[in-house]
Amino acid sequence: MRRDILCCILLLLCGTIVYAQKQISAASPDGQIRVTISLSDRIYYDVESHGEKLFGECHIGLTLRNRTLGEKPVLKSRKLTAVSETITPVHPLKSSRVENRYTLLTLAFAGGYKVEWRVYDDGVAYRFVTSLRGDIEVMGEDGTWRLESPCKLVLQQPGGFKTSCEEFYSVVSSSEWKAGDRMSELPILVMGERQKVLISEFDLFDYAGAFLRPCGEGTNAFSIIQPRTPLEYEDQGDRSQKILKEADYVARTRGTRSFPWRYMLITQSDGQLVENTMPVRLAPANVIGNTDWIKTGHTCWDWLNGIPYGPDVTFKSGINLDTYKYFVDFAARNGIEYMLMDEGWALDTRDPFRTNPEVHLPELIAYAAGKGVGIIVWLPWLTVEHHMDLFGKFAEWGIRGVKIDFMDRQDQWMVNFYERCAREAAKHHLVIDFHGAFHPSGLDYKYPNVLTYEGVRGMEMNGSCRPDNSIWLPFIRNAVGPMDYTPGSMLNYQPERHHGNRPICSGVGTKAYNMAVCVLFESNLQMLMDNPCRYDQWPDCRDFLTGIPVNWDETRVLAAQAGEYCVVAKRKGDKWFVGGITNSKPRDLHIKLDFLPDGKQYNMVSFADGANAHIIAMDYLRQESRVGSTTVVPVHMTRNGGWCCVIK
C-alpha cells in the first residue's frame, strides 16, 4: 500500500494535551471523540464520544515474568502528533483509497516501554511498544473495558480456547455477563442506545490472540484472557493436536517490539460498522514487495456439491479427472479465476505428494492452465506443518494456492504457524485460504497472498447457517476483514423446510438472499459453493454471480439496522452492485439511488424475492428497468429474503 504522510506536532490546534494531576487527554481530528488517560497505581483511561461517556476507569497493563508494565507508571515524555495519510490497499475490500486521519498520543514511561494511542473520528486504538533487552515472557495482559452504562453485547462464546470460531451469536446484557459464563471471541459488538462500539485487535504477530471474559456480574466490565503457549503436543489423527503441556506464559517473544492494537470502532449509525476501514488504517506494511502475481477473484469448489449431473454429463462423476475438468470448463466459460479441489485429491491426507491416481493431477493442472484457470488444493494444517517444503513443490507442479484447514487455535505457536505459511507461500507465489481459522488480524496486509479466512458460521454449516445469525456478519465478523462464507447456493429453502447434505447441499434463505450475500459479504477469494450444472440451470443468476467483483472502489450503506437488515451499494469502475438481506422478518424499504451521477440514465437488472418466496424459497423475480440518481426503488424482502441488482 502507498502512504503519503503529513505529520506535524500539535500544541493547541487539532486535539489538546493536558498534564494536571497526572491526567492526559487527546481528541480526534474533528473533536468529537476524546480519550483521557489517568496515571496512578496503573494506567486508566476514559473514552467520550459525541458528548457521551462510553467507557470509564478502564485500565491496561502488560505483565511480564518479573514485573508489570503499567503498574505505578512513571511518565518520562509525551508527544501529540496529527497524522493525515492516504492509503491504497493492495486488495480494496471497501474502497480503493482510504483517508487515514488521527491524533497520535505517545506516552513514554520509565522502564523501557511506551503506550501509543490513536484517536480517530470513528474510534480509539492503543498498543504497548517495548524496548527491552533479549527475550521476554508475557504472563498475561490487563486490558479491561468498563462500560458507563449497561448495554447489550453481541458475543461469540466458545466452550474453550480450541474453537473454529463458528459459534452462533448471542445477545447478552453486560450487567448479566458474569464470572463463570463462557468467554467471547473477538470481535464483539457493544449495543449502546445512541452509539455502538466494535471491539477487536489488529497487528497480531508472535503473540497469543485475545478473548474477552466478564469481570463479574453487575460490573459492566470485561477483560482480556489469552491461551498459554503449548510446549508439548501430539498429533490426533490427520488434522488436530492434543496439547500435553503448556507454559505458564502466553508469549515468549522479543523484548523490543510493538504489541497488537486493541481498538474500539465507535459509530453513531449502524451503517458505519459496515463501511468502516479501521483494519486498513491499523494494518502493518506489505513485506513481500511486488504483488502483481497475486490474483483475487472467484473459485469453483467441489466439497458441498461435487457430483455434476444432467444431459451434458456423460461420465461417472466423483473425485476424478473428468469431474474436475467439468468444473474447470465451467470456470473458463464464466471468467472464474480458480478451481478449488477439496479433500480427496491426495491419496492420503497426511501426504501431500501422493496424489489420487483417479485425478491425474499433472494433466489437470496443465489443462486448467491452458484455459486460464488456477488450481487451489485443500490440506489439513498438520500436513502442512509436517511438510513445509510443499509450497515449493506445489509451485513446481503449477498449483496456484492452498486452502489450509482445522487450525482451531489462537495461541502464540499457532499464530506463528499462520505467518510461516504465509511467508513460505509468498516465496513461491502461492495464495492461501485459511479455514478453521480465527478472525483476520493483519496477516493479510503483511502478506497480501493471504486472500481470505473462514472463522464464520457459513454455508458449509448447511441448515444451521440461518439468516437470523448471518445478518450480524456485515456488522461484526466481516467488519474486521475478509470472510470465506462459501456463498452462492442455487438450491434454496426456508429454515423449517431445509434439507440437503453432501453431495446435494442447499442454502437457507431465498434465492435472492443467496445471491445478495455474494455482493454484501466481502472476501478476496469468493467461493461459489454450488455445482456448475445447477448454475447452468439458472443462467441469469449465474451471469450475475460470476460478474460480481471481489474488490471495490467505493462502498455505501443504503439502509442498515444491526441484527435486522442491511443493504449496501458497491462500485467497481462505472458499475454499481447492490445487495441487501433481512433476517426472519419481512422488510419493505425504499432505496434511493442518489449515489449515481446526476443527469445520466442507467440500466438496472435486479433480483427480488418472488410472491411465494416466503414458502418456496426458490421463487425469485428478475426485472430490468431504467434508473437515475433521482430514482427511489421499492424493495420488498420476504422473511429470510434478499434483493440485489447491477446498475451500469
At 362, list the grid cell. Answer: 499433472
Is 405 noted as a catalytic residue in this protein?
yes
Say whether the peptide bond before residue 503 is cis (omega within 30 degrees of 0).
Answer: yes
Widest pairwise Cα distance in the chain = 82
Q: What is the 3-state secondary structure (H, E, C) of 357-422?
A: CCCCHHHHHHHHHHCCCEEEEEEEHHHHHHCCCHHHHHHHHCCCEEEEECCCCCCHHHHHHHHHHH
CB 153 within 8 A of CB 177: yes
β-pairing, 230-236 with 221-225?
A: unpaired
CA distance 428 to 531: 30
The partner residues of 153 in beta bridges, in order of sequence, read 172, 190
C-alpha 168/C-alpha 477 separation (Å) is 12
Tell me the residue type at 385.
E
The CA–CA distances, whole Å, from 584 to 167, 430, 580 equal 19, 40, 14
Tell me, yes or no, if 460 is annotated catalytic: yes
Residue 4: helix, strand or coil by DSSP?
strand
Cβ(610)–Cβ(636) under 8 Å? no
Question: What residue type is assigned to position 158 of the chain?
Answer: P
Answer yes or no: are the C-beta atoms of 636 and 509 closer than 8 Å: no
Active-site residue, from 460, 522, 530, 619: 460
| Torsion over CA: 151, 155, 158, 162 (sign) | negative
Identify whether 380 is preceded by a cis peptide bond (ω within 30 of 0): no
Tell the residue number behind the cell numbers 513485506, with chain if given: 287
270, 405, 424, 619: the catalytic one is 405
69-73, long-range: CB < 8 A, 24+ apart: 69/109, 69/111, 69/113, 69/128, 69/130, 70/42, 70/43, 70/109, 70/115, 70/142, 71/41, 71/42, 72/41, 72/42, 73/39, 73/42, 73/43, 73/109, 73/110
* CA–CA dist 624, 620 (Å, integer): 14
Which of the residues are catalytic?
405, 460
